[in-house]
Every structure is written in structure tokens, then in C-alpha cells.
Amino acid sequence: MSQKPNTPQPPRWAERLLERIIAPHLREELLGDLYELFQKRVRRSGSSQARLLYGLDALLLLHPRLWRRNSADQQYRYPQTTDYSTPALTDMLSNHFKIALRKLNRHRSHALINVLSLSLGMACVMLIFTLITYHLSFNTFHAHQDRIYRIYTEFHDDKVRYNTGVPNPLGTAFRNEQPAVERVGRVAFLKKRVVEVSPAKKFEEDIAFADPEFLEIFNFPLVQGNPKTVLHERNTALLTDRVARKFFGDEDPIGKLVHVDDSLVVRITGVLRDLPPNTDFRSEMFIPFDNLKDHTPWMVEKDWWFSVNSEMQSFTRLKPGTSAATIDNTVLSAISDKYYNKDMAKYFRFKLQPLADVHFNPNLKGYTEKKNLWAFGLIGFFLIVTTCVNFINLSTAQALGRSKEIGVRKVLGSRRGALFWQFMTETAIITGLATVFAFMLAYLALPAVNHLFEIELSLNPLNNVYLVIFLPILLLIVIFFSGTYPGLILARFPPLLALKGKLSGRQTGGFWLRKSLVITQFAISQLLIIGTLVIANQLRYSRQADMGFQKDAMVILHVPDNQKTKINTMRSQFSELTGVENVTFFDTAPASEEVGSTGIRFDSRTESENFPISIKAADDHYVATFGLQILAGRNLKPSDTIREYIVNETTVKALGLAANQDVIGKNASINGRKGTIVGVMKDFHNRSFHTAIDPLCITTRSENYSHCGVKVSLANLEPTLAGLEKNWSAMYPSSIFTYRFLDEDIARFYKLDNMILWLIQAFSIIAIAIGCLGLYGLVAFMAAQKTKEIGVRKVLGASVSGILWLFGKEFFQLLLIAFGLAAPLAWWVMSRWLNDFVYRIELGAGIFVLAIAITSMIAVLTVGYRSLRAALANPVKSLRSE
Amino acid sequence: MQMRKILFITMKGDQLGEFEELVLLTIAFLYDDAYSVAVVEALSQRLERPMSLGAVHRTMQRLEEKGLVCSRFGESTAERGGRRKRLFTVSVAGEQALQEVRRIRNALWDGIPITAFGGSRS
């Protein structure tokens, strides 16, 4: 085809595309037709439009008929046209496919190892991916969510502390002060309140007392009820569909009356759609905020700015274009200045927290930190790397076995590109199979994962767009990373050497590469093993270490109503039960994350101390029941109001006093209430091991008692618990009896750590399993390669152990190098993790030794069997052939 | 089995789509110079709507599979970049099919009562 430089030409891309895909018998006429049309159009309407129409025509030609091969009778009709034409793209593809299937069928065990290890790794990655997207999706379904903020409190003294709540008048004050705000909604989340539908049907529900604006700010749509009036009228309530069904079955809930905690009777006026799984606000019953003063009056004490309850929260939606920082600096600081005196205004600061931060801020009770998610992502990445490495390892090793095939193909005219794509097709088939398996595995593992994390993940590609995008990308990445290198190696074989079977390690990809891949795998396994060991040790330490108080055999009961007479009756009734050793009433257990803290003024000092002190209200039995030790002075005397304090050693030190005796008998004003310090307790851990022991005091104040602690004997627990329930239910007929064990509560401090431990255990087992599969494949290959060498050595008198060492020394070298890489990295990562604990274990050499011992053992087990078989083989057999 | 096969063949012959009929007629109309570009141009001119080469070409392929047209390669020209064109002629079966369609249509036209179109039909 001669082309004058100036004649307009049809677009190259379209021509190329058609040339590749048109079936040969149609190629000439169709390209001719298009060219003719193009020339005519150039004359009629100019070259640019003609090019455009050419492209359009080319695209409209795409149809199966275009590449369908002519059937036999058509071939008869056009005998000459197929001669010497280049084959269509799909021809080679189907050939690749056929060859690949034959290959996989021939090497079934090899294919199985590959599919297994790939699917294990990919299943984990799928789960990790859904987990991460699940957490990132939290609170994202609200309209204008970038303008929604929670107002929180910062306490500024020597260090800053955070609280999700605000003083109860703040919401109204903020609403009155601020024109740049669209909506402000106050809400109080009350956990586990008793809702009575009928005397026989009582349920524990989390209730939110909320302003109507709460539902305007957040996207919790109504399915029944009038959105304009719900939550406006007092003594009404909204339920979610799920709860409405639970309460009333299939009856219409609207207009029904329910009792809440004896103090409220509310009428159901609306039903909300069920909460989506990805919201942090899990209350399923809403009552107008104004009703809160009938339910828990102390939470809404008028103009009381000095206490902050973490469940008393305020949300706001700003007007577009308003920045949170300006509100922080102007309006909110003005509120502090207006409602507090000068000192206190510095102490109480209010800030806006973006809604996107609510799920992730650990200071403000966020569920998890984002860095944990990225850590999971990293583990997922490691797993994918191990699987790909495994695949590369096995394939390059196998490549040697295929040298004859490659040689023949090359002699017959295969080009490098064709060989490369052939190998990629094989990889694609294996990976595709593995993806299907992986998806099934992940699907099967999902209920267990959901149970472990107490979440509702779903692996449904139909309603998770990200998953739909992620799966093909994962597939492509795995195909690309694991297929490219072996494919290139294969395609590069020199044909003559390959045919003669004289390929050496040099052509099959440098041995150093395979070594470094094995090192990577070992290093990842060791990293995960060390992580598992450290976390397990620290958690065992946290559970078993002496907290400084008695935590076993301690039953904690809820006290719904703390009238003096009821408490005293209960105490005497409980004490008479067999198996009860001691009874105490208090607001929080010795170790508890829910603890109030306040300021202290000591003795005759003029200024308040600049540290906060935690305060617990408890009766005189507290010390004895929990086995706290009094180091100086004496225990509290029975009382119902604040008269005396006992403090811990940390308080004495924080006050700057040398001896415990120095505080005894002195007056102190704590939370603005005067009392005498009568005793000093030995320090005990009042929170988890994540935080240091706070200055702490205990005082009597019966109106705060909300829990009852009963020390029981474990020998005969059942009747004792039954007795407790009987007495308690008689005392509080409208409430539901529940009890907890203190040690379980303490174990719950480490819930997140336990999850991490469980996960990292699972991941390291999987990584090790994948690594073992790869190692086994590699040894099997090495053994096959070295058959002759072993035969010669044995004939010359080598012992079995000597031959075993031949295999062993190679892997031990690699293992040691891997350890050299993994150990410092693991040390760095794990010491950062341990930094989160104030009381922690030392990162000793023992853990590292144990880790290398475990990996060596696994390596020996994997390598041992196969190499032993090679070493025991009869040399006559291996040398006789050839 | 035998019955079904016969039925299938007749069905195939009988089922002449509207567009197929048009293309077939155009091929007959162009007589000696019937190839895809000519058919595209003739048709789009008469129907006054643009037409893609792909649609026409596929229809012609289908017609050939049904045995309604025969084809041969023509000469190559510079206008086609040196490529040959495929020329089509209507086969005997094709002519019969066209006649059949015409007969059915005529019979229908003749059967329409005069008043059906409001008496406007002359």
C-alpha cells in the first residue's frame, strides 16, 4: 500500500484494532470498505470529520460476527482468503488456554499447592479489606456529614484530658450564642435502661434522650410518624423497627404505652428505620430531651456547669463555609469565659470534633484508631507478598522441568512475547481459581470474624462497590506480580541449551533471587511470630499480675434505687446467705474506666492542687471486701454523707509529702466538699495497665452508690447466686437482675488487645502455612535436581546425615539471615506497641530465641521429610538411568 | 427429527427481516455493483437516516448464510487502498423469497376494505 504523505489517512488505532480482531476471511473487504467510505467522506466533509466517522464505524462493527471464524462451508467458498493471514487475537488465547489447562492437569500437586497458598492469602486480604472499608464507612451516611461536629470538653491542668460530653447547659448556650450554626442537638445516651411493655415483658434497651434537632442533623429516617412533630411532645418515644417488633410483635406500635425505669410512661409516636451497622450511635429508642429531668434529674441540674458526663453530648451542624477552628476560638472560648470564673475558664475548654473523627479518636472513646486499620492493611500486604513470593519460587523452580517444551516451542518459531503470554495465561488460570476459592473461604470465615469483633461485616459484592472494584484489582495485581518474573525467565531460555537439557541455575533466574524470596518469607513469618509472642505475654501479664486488690470471686450487681432503707435491708439479707463473705455498696469498682475526677485543696494551702484526683464513693465495707491495704491511719467510719476520706499513696506523693502519716487527720476539700483524711491505702491499679495509677480517694456518700459488690465463695456458687437473685428481685420488682464478675470486667479492658492477639495469631499461622507449602515445593524440586549428586555422594561414602545437612545448611543460612532482618524490625514495632502500656513486660531475648526456635522447627519439619526421602533413596536407582 | 429439520429450513427461508428485505432489494437494485459501501449509500439516501457499515455488512453476511445471495471478489482499486471488494448478487432462492414477500403484501393490500383508511385510498 503506497501512501502519499499528504493524503489523509484513517485513524491508526482503529485500523490496528480491526486488523487484530477481524476474522481473516473478512479482513480485506471490510478494511477496503472502511477505507473507501473514509476517502469519500474526506472529499465530502473534510478529514477530521471523516476520521471521527471512521472510528465510529469501526466501533459499530464490533460484533461476534466480526471475529467468528468461517465455518467449513464458508471456507470452501473462499478458499484463498485465509492463506498466510495473521491469526486473530483470540486464536492464540484459546491455544494458550488449552496448553495451560493441560499443564496444570499434568502437574496437579504443583497446581494444588499454588492454588491453596494463593487462596489462603487472598482470603485473608479480602477479609482485611472488607474490615477496613467497614470501619472507614462509619458515620458516613449522614447528609452534609463534613459539617457535623460533636462538641467535647478538654480539661486543661498539667496535662490535657478529654471527655466526649459537655456540661448540660452548654447545648442551649451554644444555640443561643451562635448564628453560624444551622442546628444544635443535645442528646444523653443512657445505657441499659429497663423498658416494661407489660409486667411480663421487660427489656433492657439503650435509650437516647434527644432534641428534635438530633434527627435533623443525623440521617435516621422515620418509617412511621410525622417528622415535623416527633420528639417535640413530652412523654413520647421513637423506636427502631427492630425494637418495635421485639416489643409488640406484628402489632402496630403507634400509640402504645411503655414504662421506662419506673420513672416515665411514654407513648410511641414513630418508628425509625433499622440502624445501619456502620453507626456509632446505637440507641434504638429515642425520648425527648425535656423528659430527661423526669428520668435522671441530676443529669440536667439547672445551670450546673461543673460536671461533665461523657454520655451528655451535643452535636451541631455548621453553616456551609464555617470553619470549626473559628468556632473553637471564638464562640466556644467565649462560652467558657462567660460561664466560669477566670481559673475555671482556663480549665474547661470546649472544642468541635468532626463526625469523621468520632469512630477513630481514642481520647474520645473512638472504637479504634486508624493506625490499627493501617497495621491490618500492612499485614494484608505482607500476606499477599508471601503468596506471590511462593508462587514465583515454585514457578521458577518448575521452569527448569519445562526446558524441553520451551526449546521445542522456540525452534518451531515461538517468539518471546508468545511464550510470556502463555505463562501469564497459566498464572491467570491458577489465580482465577484461587480467587474463587478465596472468596468461598472468606465467606465461610466471615461469621467467626463477625463474632470475634462484634460487628456486622458482609461480603456481598452486590452492595459493596469497593469490593467489586477491589477483587479484580487484587486479581490483576497477583497475576502481574507472581506471573511476570517467571514468565520472563521462561521466555528467555536459549533454545539450544534448553533442548539439550543443559540449563543451569543461571538461566532459571539467579539463585540469589530465590534465596532472597525465601528470606522474605522467613522474615515475615518470624515478624508475626514475635508479635504473637509479645502480645500474648503482655496480656497474660495484665491478667495475672496483682492488681493490688481482690478481683476473684467478686460478683457485681446493679443497684437501681439507692434509698438508705433498701440498701440496709439488702445488706443484711445478702449477709445471711450462705457463701456470701462480704457485701459492699459503691459507685465504681476499684479498677474501672468510668471514674469521676475532680480538684483537691489540701489542709490550709490557699491554692487548689494542680493535679486531678479520682474519687470513688463507697461504704466502710469497701476496703475489707476488695482486700485493699491500709498503710497508715484507719478505714472509713460508717456514714451516708461525706465526712472522711481515705487516699492512696500516689496522692500523698502528688501532694509533695514524705510520709503517709503526714496526711492523717488533715482536712481536705475535694470536689468542693470538706472532709478529714483518716487513712492511706496501698496503691492499686485503678484502671487498665495502659494507664498509670491516679491519685485517688474514697469517701462515703450513699446517694452515689450504684453498684453492690458481693464477695462469694466459689465452692458453692449456684445457690448463692440464686439467693442473690431472689432477694434482689424482691427488692426491685420492676428491674431485670443481671450480675457480672469483676475479673471479667477487668479482662474486658483488654478486649481490643485480645482481638489483635487473635488476629495476629491467625495471620501468622496462615503466613507460616503458606511459607511451608512454598518451602515444601522448593525442597521437592531441589531433591529432584540433586538426585544424581546424592547418588554419587552416597556411592563415594557419604552418610545419610551428611546428605541431610546438604539440604539443611542452605535453609538454616537463609533462616538466620531472615532472623537478622526480622528481629530489629519486630523489636521496634513491638516496643512501640508496648509503649501503650504503663505497666508492661520487658522485651527480653527469650522471646526472640523462642521465635527462631519455632521457625527452625517448622522449617525442619517441612524440609526434613522430603530430604530424608532423597537421602535414603537407593543410589543404584538414581545413577542407573542415562 | 426429519420433520423438524425441514421445518427449520423453511422457517429460515421464510423469516426475512424487514431490514434484510431492504438490503436484499438494494442488492437486486444495484445489480452489477452491489457491495457493502454502495448498499450503505443507496439505503441511507433512500431511508434518509444514517446507517452503519457494520449493520449492513452483518445483514449481508446473514443473507449469504441463508443462501439468498452469492458473492465473489471484485477488482482492487486505489480508492480502497488496493483492497478488493466483495460483490453480491441475488440468488434464485433470494429472488423467490422476495417474490414471496411481495405476494403476501399484495394479497394483504388487496384485502384491505376501501373504507379502512377513511375512504382516502383511491
| b/e B109-119 (16+ beta carbons within 10 angstroms → b) | eeeeeeeeeee
Whose CA is closest to A704, among A613, A831, A619?
A: A619
Q: A 585-644 residues with CB below 8 A of B?
A: none
Which residue shows C-alpha cell 434537632?
A: A213
Contact A827, A527 (CB under 8 A): no
What is the DSSP code (8-state) at residue A741?
Answer: E
Write the CA distances from A154 to A133, A160, A332, A350, A352, integer angstroms.
Answer: 30, 6, 12, 6, 10
Whose CA is closest to A518, among A234, A778, A841?
A: A778
Closest CA of chain A from B79, distance in Å: 6
Q: Assign A502 to helix, strand or coil.
A: coil
pLDDT of A84 above 70: no
Q: Do the Cβ atoms of B54 and A61 come within 8 Å? A: yes
- Main-chain dihedrals φ then ψ at residue A307, nearest 5 degrees: -125, 145
Neighbouring C-beta atoms of residue A803, cutoff 10 Å: 21
ipTM score assigned to the predicted complex: 0.83
Closest CA of chain A from B98, distance in Å: 24
Whose CA is closest to A424, among A825, A97, A846?
A: A97
pLDDT of A127 above 50: yes
Q: Do the Cβ atoms of A29 and B76 come within 8 Å? A: no
Contact A225, A233 (CB under 8 A): no
Question: Can you tell me the distance from the alpha carbon of A616 to that of A614, in angstroms, rounded to the nearest whole number?
Answer: 7
Percentages helix, strand, coil for chain B (3-state, rounded to 5) are 65, 10, 20
Distance of CA A810 to the CA centre of its chain: 38
Partnered with residue A617 across adjacent β-strands are A699
Which residue shows C-alpha cell 445483514?
A: B59
Least CA distance to B87: which residue of chain A? A29
Q: Do the Cβ atoms of A32 and B55 come within 8 Å? A: no
Question: Cell digits for A66?
Answer: 466480526
Work out the mean pLDDT of chain A and round it to a whole number: 84
Question: Cell digits for A228?
Answer: 415535623
Partnered with residue A600 across adjacent β-strands are A670
Q: Beta strands A613-617 and A160-163: pairing type?
A: unpaired
Q: Do the Cβ atoms of B36 and A33 come within 8 Å? A: yes
Question: Cell digits for A101?
Answer: 489447562
Question: Can you tell me the distance from the alpha carbon of A268 to that of A287, in angstroms, rounded to the nearest whole number?
Answer: 9
Q: Which residues of B touch A33 (CB under 8 A)?
A: 35-37, 53, 57, 80, 85
Interface test with B, best of A12, A33, A59, A65 (most B CBs within 10 A): A33
Whose CA is closest to A174, among A333, A332, A337?
A: A332
Question: Can you tell me the distance from the alpha carbon of A67 to that of A71, in angstroms, rounded to the nearest whole number?
Answer: 12
Neighbouring C-beta atoms of residue A414, cutoff 10 Å: 16
Q: What is the pLDDT of residues A762-817, one digit of tens each?
A: 888 888 888 888 788 778 777 777 788 888 888 898 888 888 888 888 888 888 99
Question: Can you tell me the distance from the alpha carbon of A355 to that of A19, in angstroms, rounded to the nearest whole number?
Answer: 56
Question: Can you tell me the distance from the alpha carbon of A652 to that of A661, in angstroms, rounded to the nearest whole number?
Answer: 9
- More reliable by pLDDT, A252 or A8: A252
Q: Provide the residue count of chain A.
A: 882
Whose CA is closest to B93, among B8, B16, B33?
A: B16
Which residue shows C-alpha cell 442537638?
A: A185
Question: Cell digits for A689?
Answer: 495497665
Interface test with B, best of A4, A22, A28, A43 (most B CBs within 10 A): A28
Closest CA of chain B from A15, distance in Å: 12
Whose CA is closest to A645, among A717, A698, A696, A713?
A: A698
Question: Can you tell me the distance from the alpha carbon of A685 to that of A551, in angstroms, rounded to the nearest whole number?
Answer: 11
Number of inter-chain CB pairs under 8 A, A vs B: 60
- More reliable by pLDDT, A679 or A702: A679
Q: Do the Cβ atoms of A33 and B81 come within 8 Å? A: no
What is the DSSP code (8-state) at residue A638?
Answer: S
Residue A392 has a pLDDT of 84
What is the secondary structure of A24-36 as a DSSP string?
A: HHHHHHHHHHHHH
Domain ranges within chain B, ordered by starting residue:
2-114
Q: What is the pLDDT of residues A22-62, one digit of tens each?
A: 888 888 888 888 888 898 888 888 888 888 888 888 888 88
Least CA distance to B82: which residue of chain A? A1
pLDDT of B15 above 90: no
Amino acid identity, position A517: L
Q: Give A751's pLDDT tier (boundaries 50, 70, 90).
A: confident
Q: Do the Cβ atoms of A35 and B79 come within 8 Å? A: yes
The answer to whether A19 faces chain B, any CB pair under 8 Å, is no
Interface test with B, best of A36, A68, A70 (most B CBs within 10 A): A36
Residue A768 has a pLDDT of 84
Residue A3 has a pLDDT of 46
Q: Which residues of A touch B61 (CB under 8 A)?
A: 65
Q: What is the pLDDT of residues A167-189, one digit of tens each?
A: 888 888 888 876 778 889 999 99
Question: Can you tell me the distance from the alpha carbon of A454 to that of A449, in angstroms, rounded to the nearest whole number?
Answer: 8
Neighbouring C-beta atoms of residue A324, cutoff 10 Å: 16
Which residue shows C-alpha cell 491511719?
A: A633
Q: Which residues of A touch B35 (CB under 8 A)?
A: 29, 33
| b/e B72-94 (16+ beta carbons within 10 angstroms → b) | ebbeeeeebbebbbbbbebbeeb
Q: Beta strands A285-288 and A201-210: pairing type?
A: parallel
Q: Which residues of B touch A56 (CB under 8 A)?
A: 52
What is the DSSP code (8-state) at residue A149?
Answer: E
Question: Can you tell me the distance from the alpha carbon of A771 to that of A844, in angstroms, rounded to the nearest whole number?
Answer: 26
Residue A70 has a pLDDT of 63
Query: Residues with Cβ < 8 Å from A2, sequence gap 6 or more?
Result: none
Q: A 43-72 residues with CB below 8 A of B?
A: 56-57, 60-63, 65-66
Least CA distance to B58: which residue of chain A? A65
| End-to-end Cα, chain B, rounded Å | 50
Question: Can you tell me the distance from the alpha carbon of A491 to that of A485, in angstroms, rounded to the nearest whole number?
Answer: 10
Least CA distance to A42: which residue of chain B? B79
Residue A110 has a pLDDT of 81
Lowest mean pLDDT among A327-331, A455-459, A533-537, A666-670: A455-459
Lowest mean pLDDT among A355-369, A453-467, A799-813, A827-841: A453-467
Contact B38, B56 (CB under 8 A): no
Closest CA of chain A from B41, distance in Å: 9
Question: Can you tell me the distance from the alpha carbon of A16 to that of A798, in angstroms, rounded to the nearest whole number?
Answer: 64
- More reliable by pLDDT, A299 or A77: A299
- Helix orientation angle between A12-21 and A24-45, rounded to the nearest 10 degrees: 160
- More reliable by pLDDT, A688 or A1: A688
Least CA distance to A61: which residue of chain B? B54
Closest CA of chain A from B104, distance in Å: 31
Residue A90 has a pLDDT of 65
Q: Do the Cβ atoms of B52 and A56 come within 8 Å? A: yes
Q: Give A748's pLDDT tier (boundaries 50, 70, 90).
A: confident
Lowest mean pLDDT among A723-727, B14-18, B109-113: B14-18
Least CA distance to B64: which residue of chain A? A74
Q: Does domain B2-114 have CATH number 1.10.1740.10?
A: no
Nearest to B79 among A39, A60, A63 (CB): A39
Question: Can you tell me the distance from the alpha carbon of A65 to that of A74, in angstroms, rounded to the nearest whole number?
Answer: 13
Q: Do the Cβ atoms of A62 and B86 come within 8 Å? A: no
pLDDT of A247 above 80: yes
Q: State mean pLDDT over A305-309.
A: 81
Question: Cell digits for A414?
Answer: 515461538
Helix (H) or strand (E) run with residue B6 in it:
helix B2-14
Q: Give A511's pLDDT tier (boundaries 50, 70, 90).
A: low
Question: Can you tell me the distance from the alpha carbon of A781 to that of A786, in angstroms, rounded to the nearest whole number?
Answer: 9
